[in-house]
Structure 1
Amino acid sequence: MSVANQPTHNAKDPISGVPGGTTYLVHEICDNNDKVIGYEIIPLKVVESSADDQLSYNLNGAPGSIDPTAGKTGSEVIVTSEVPDWEGHEFLGWSTSEDSAFADYTAGDHYTLTAGDDILFAIWKAKTPQYTIEKSVANEGSGEGGTFKTGETINYKITVTNTGGVAYLDPIILGDSLVDLGGPGVTVESNLSGAADFSNATLQGLLVGETVTVSYSYTVKATDNDITNAVTANGEKKAEVTTEVEDAPALTAVKKLVNEGTGDSGMSSNPLRYQQSAESGTASQRAWYPG
């Protein structure tokens, strides 16, 4: 049966048509014995069907989930702007292959839906544990331009920072060319935990975002020239700092005659006695010996 030359359908048949047109549903009316006793014709306006396809997202090992992007087969959809998170990993983007090392799609890209399963896999790069070390002088000496004099104290700071975005679990053994960092007088502070795990000059790893400061001092000796002081980590030189030491005053030798002879003009056959001084500032050393 047809109505006005339009296609008609049984109630059990799928209904389709040209979007914007009209089709008709013929509904059979039956008695208790399933005998058709009449028909009901129902006009239907044909509209474009709802989404019948979707783009799914596989987080490829990461926790959580992202809702699929709906669309129609053959149409373009926009790749999600949601960014998954996985501790210790950097998200690179999306790929149609779960084993790819590179991303084929990123947020906002266009993807054409196919008749099959459309799945994008998250692509990850594991973050590498790493750290940096810096060394600095935290004070100035009393000499010209902040130089240090003999007997003055230089306050050093070593700053160790986790820059890898993942916990650094291996121990870091610190060394200094002037000071035993495992000895007394060394203080250690963490920006996260207050007191870092540090003993026997060994830092027991770094948390994500952690910075540890190791502070200690050194007293300038008379024999020191400019001090180039290096810090090592696990035996490798990582940083150094040079501190200027003010030169000590030069020694001046002074020789004086301390006795005279009894002859003319002080001449004598007896040995002459001299005093020699090595003077530096107000300090002096004296030695007596015959001329």
Structure 2
Amino acid sequence: MNNISTYLIIKKEIFDILRQMKYSELSQKHIKDEVLRVQRVIEKISFELYRELKKIVSNDKLNEKDWLRMVQELEDDLKVNQSPGILLQDNQNNRVNRQWWSNTAKSENELFYWNRYREEISDKLPLEVVQRMDEDTDIIMDSIENPLIDTFNIRGLVVGHVQSGKTGNYTGLLCKAADAGYKFIIVITGGMNNLRNQTQIRINEGFVGRTDNNLVGVGLRGYEQNKSPYSLTLADRDFNINDKDNAIQSISFETISVPVVMVIKKNYRTLEHVISWIKARYKKVVTELDLVT
């Protein structure tokens, strides 16, 4: 980069123009086209005249590498690009259908939870990012298992950078898992109450559709009582096995027809309470192996 002040002035000008667009309409192509447009304007009127108009002190011009770098940085700043996930897996010889979701189940499913979540995030994220999230969560779904199968034991790990969209990604995964028939989902957050509370709010907005008795997020886009997920935790309250005000005492996975979710802290006592609660209700069907984290 020849001159940081010249570079930043031009980049800010382009950034301000692009920010006027709706995120849902913004794409990599828009960024490349706008950078190219400014580059051609400067070439046409001469850098000297452009420098005078913009009151740029430096006399150094940008080179081709500077323009390419600007495109990449604007893509990152405006979050219009999300790299595809990378999958590492063993042979999983016991699995007959490794694409049970993307090849069959997804197309045969109503996708109630995913469709309303996709509609919700499409107003806030560029189309390319939403499409990438759809593709990545499909890969994860294929890597777990069809919940309609009687017995399976699948474990995995999804890793993402800080501020890379992990919460949005696993919220989308929750929606697809619920669409596929998973009934009990536990989200384990960091060890602080404020982190757990923030995550609960995001899950309420993207999956549950309610906070207390008020519709929020996806609940405002499509609410059906007989499909509304049931949360065992609240925006301001973690799981508590002794909480008589919470309806957890009456939940039965054998009879409930909607997905059940809980958002808990990564805390050994909370985990002990959850395990004890599950054991007390399903002594005959839950083994110690099932509860290993």
The TM-score range, normalised by the shorter chain, is under 0.3
- TM-score, normalised to structure 2, is 0.20
Instruction: Mark the structure with the bigger radius of gyration.
Output: 1
Bigger relative contact order, structure 1 or 2, given CA contacts below 8 A and separation 6+? 2
Question: Which structure carries more helix by proportion?
Answer: 2
TM-score (norm 1): 0.20
